Amino acid sequence: MTVGLNKELESNTGFIRTSDVLSEHFAGAAARRLDQQHGNEELLYGLDLLGLAGPFSRVTPWELEDEHGVQRINASGYAATPFGEMPPVLTDFLQEFLTKNRAMSLPQQSSGPWRAALQTNLVRLLARELPSHADSQVFFCSSGTEAIEGALKFAKAWRPKAKFQISFSSGYHGKTLGSLSLTPNPEYQDVFRPLVPGALTSPYGDLGALTSLIRRVGPDNVVCVVVEPIQGEGGVNIPPPGFLSGLGELCRRYGIVVIADEIQTGLGRTGHWFESAAQGLDADIVTLAKPLGGGMTAVGATIVRHTIYKKMLGGLSSKRHSNTFGGGAMAMAVGLKSLEYLMENDLPARSLRLGAEGLARLKTIQAQHPRLLEDVRGQGMLLAMQFKPMLGLPLPDVLKELVFEATAILALRELHISGVMGNLSLSSKRTVRLTPALDMPEDVFKTMMNRVADFAARNPAARNILTNTPPAMTAKLAQFAASKPKKRTPSDG
């Protein structure tokens, strides 16, 4: 028997209708409970304990409201909502698209004008900065991890005899098996071993170490190097100047394929169209996803040099890599409109300017509260706060990791209470990221930063993050972390 449907729905067929969701008959606690029951229960239960599970509703593109009517500024969304929630630029466009479009929806085996337009614009955008990409080709998919899977296959087909792929410590490229093999995080990898063979890890930002690794295994044995130009899930790590350009030169010398993973950084998040190009790297393959769908749909893209593309998909091999949904008309149309909006408003430049103001403010807050914040980092609208551990006792390594993670999780809750929604960082346990919309109005952005300052004033030292958490909540969280609780009592809202 299902739980949580309100009376009216239960008395009906037991099935939830679109009208139930649109009318908000099915919302709040009922939706949360069923989401736990039939979705990722553990994740949603943990968020529910913290009061972070939602569902949240849109007030403006940049502000969300919970079921109690409390409004917060949204700097969450894992960098996938470049214009906030349901931005009018896209909702208006979609209405037009839905009434006027006659192009086929999922035109896998024929040309499609939306797909052709988006791939052309992406290539021209990249070639504006990297002319060597003028004749590059694009493979579309529906997520970041799939864009990486495609990139790895293109690279392998180009260098079929080589067997090693190199990525970097704290890197994040996704969780399907190929991309997971290059995401060196034991929490995500261990249970799935053996992964795709040949994955090697080099320390991020260290060109000397990369050079030694390539020489040690033999340059001819290396298929590709996959690199984030700024690590996002790793906690916003900016490499030292010269790292990316040096990496490019090194790989070019040996013919190793360079894959720039711009899934988080690309299209303006870090203040440039392509962060790798801005840092002097002319990668062979560039992957994009998150913002390309405008925060409204899923679009991933793998942009590949012509010769490399042809090696995998040329001649009679054109079906060697494919998918059903990549290139679909509605996704491509939204992608095209998103790109147009980014260009017309020069949002990458705006992101760089406003983000610099945000980082300056974070630095002031850190200087005022050195016992709370160990470091603040960022570029453009990708900002990070790294916390001091909330327990300062000497602890064994396993417990230290748990304390680090709990510090960021409880800090996220405190930030939420202060009126700002942020993100955890999947490969950095002590870091909370802010990824506001690139078009967030300046007054909303300033209010957001004021609220971050309020949050820090409420928690002048990291241990306050713990002491401000109600003891009953801490106990439940500890029980949750220690074992699977037998009886759960998620909030009723």
Ligand X SMILES: Cc1ncc(COP(=O)(O)O)c(C=O)c1O
Q: Which of residues 256 and 298 has its CB atom nearest to ligand X in the complex?
A: 298
Q: Which of residues 26 and 204 has its CB atom nearest to ligand X in the complex?
A: 204
In this chain, which of 66, 149, 228, 282 binds ligand X, going by CB under 6 A?
228
Q: Does 143 bind ligand X (CB under 6 A)?
A: yes
Q: Does 264 bind ligand X (CB under 6 A)?
A: yes
Cβ atoms of 245 and 280 closer than 8 Å: yes
**Smallest distance, ligand X to C-beta of residue 231, A:** 8
Q: Which of residues 78 and 325 has its CB atom nearest to ligand X in the complex?
A: 78
**Smallest distance, ligand X to C-beta of residue 168, A:** 11
In this chain, which of 20, 48, 63, 261 binds ligand X, going by CB under 6 A?
261
**Smallest distance, ligand X to C-beta of residue 324, A:** 17
What Rg, from alpha-carbon coordinates, does the chain have?
Answer: 23
- Name residues contacting ligand X, limited to 50-109 (CB under 6 A): 78
- The span of 37-45, 188-196, 226-234, 380-388 binding ligand X (CB under 6 A) equals 226-234
- The span of 11-19, 106-114, 142-150, 157-165 binding ligand X (CB under 6 A) equals 142-150
**Smallest distance, ligand X to C-beta of residue 131, A:** 25
Q: Does 145 bind ligand X (CB under 6 A)?
A: yes
Structure token pair of residue 266: 């690309």
Residue with tokens 């801005």: 278
Q: Which of residues 77 and 87 has its CB atom nearest to ligand X in the complex?
A: 77
The torsion defined by the Cα of 105, 108, 112 and 116, in degrees rounded to 10, comes to 120
| Alpha-carbon gap, residue 441 to 423, rounded angstroms | 20
**Which residue, among 360, 339, 366, has the nearest Cα to 438 in the 3D structure?**
339
In single-letter form, the type of residue at position 315 comes to G
The conformational region for residue 35 under phi > 0 = left, psi -120 to 50 = alpha, else beta, is: alpha
- The span of 259-267, 363-371, 443-451, 462-470 binding ligand X (CB under 6 A) equals 259-267
Q: Which of residues 84 and 232 has its CB atom nearest to ligand X in the complex?
A: 232
487: number of Cβ within 10 Å: 4
Query: Residue 410 contacts by C-beta under 8 Å, 6 or more apart in sequence?
Result: 50, 390, 465, 466, 469
**Smallest distance, ligand X to C-beta of residue 78, A:** 6
What residue is closest to ligand X based on CB? 144
Cis check for the bond before 186: say yes or no (omega within 30 of 0): no
Sheet of 222-227: strands edge to edge? 137-141, 300-304, 285-288, 257-261, 222-227, 164-168, 199-202
In this chain, which of 35, 48, 66, 233 binds ligand X, going by CB under 6 A?
233
Q: Which helix (H) or strand (E) holds 222?
A: strand 222-227
Q: Does 297 bind ligand X (CB under 6 A)?
A: no
First-to-last C-alpha distance (Å) of the chain: 21
Cβ atoms of 221 and 164 closer than 8 Å: yes
- The span of 139-147, 244-252, 272-280, 397-405 binding ligand X (CB under 6 A) equals 139-147
**Smallest distance, ligand X to C-beta of residue 177, A:** 12
The torsion defined by the Cα of 414, 417, 423 and 424, in degrees rounded to 10, comes to 30
Structure token pair of residue 80: 């996938």
Q: Does 289 bind ligand X (CB under 6 A)?
A: yes
**Smallest distance, ligand X to C-beta of residue 348, A:** 17
**Smallest distance, ligand X to C-beta of residue 263, A:** 4
In this chain, which of 225, 236, 256, 263 binds ligand X, going by CB under 6 A?
263
Q: Which of residues 204 and 455 has its CB atom nearest to ligand X in the complex?
A: 204
Question: Could you tell me whether strands 423-425 and 428-434 are parallel, antiparallel, or unpaired per DSSP bridges?
Answer: antiparallel
Q: Which of residues 126 and 182 has its CB atom nearest to ligand X in the complex?
A: 182
Cβ atoms of 455 and 415 closer than 8 Å: yes
Evaluate the CA torsion angle 193, 308, 267, 229 in order and state its sign.
Answer: positive
Helix (H, G, I), strand (E, B) or coil at 39: coil
**Smallest distance, ligand X to C-beta of residue 152, A:** 12
Cβ atoms of 259 and 155 closer than 8 Å: yes
**Smallest distance, ligand X to C-beta of residue 51, A:** 24
Q: Which of residues 81 and 418 has its CB atom nearest to ligand X in the complex?
A: 81
**Smallest distance, ligand X to C-beta of residue 196, A:** 16
In single-letter form, the type of residue at position 160 comes to P
Q: Which of residues 49 and 303 has its CB atom nearest to ligand X in the complex?
A: 303
- Tell me the backbone φ, ψ of residue 262, rounded to 5 degrees: -105, 25
Q: Which of residues 339 and 462 has its CB atom nearest to ligand X in the complex?
A: 339
Q: Which of residues 80 and 332 has its CB atom nearest to ligand X in the complex?
A: 80
**Which residue, among 87, 127, 95, has the nearest Cα to 342 in the 3D structure?**
87
Structure token pair of residue 321: 């890599």
**Smallest distance, ligand X to C-beta of residue 298, A:** 8
DSSP one-letter code for 351: H
- Name residues contacting ligand X, limited to 159-198 (CB under 6 A): 172-174
Evaluate the CA torsion angle 7, 13, 15, 16 in order and state its sign.
Answer: negative
**Smallest distance, ligand X to C-beta of residue 392, A:** 31
Q: Which of residues 76 and 418 has its CB atom nearest to ligand X in the complex?
A: 76
Q: Does 232 bind ligand X (CB under 6 A)?
A: yes
Q: Does 149 bind ligand X (CB under 6 A)?
A: no
Residue ranges that bind ligand X, judged by CB under 6 A: 78, 143-145, 148, 172-174, 228, 232-233, 261, 263-264, 289
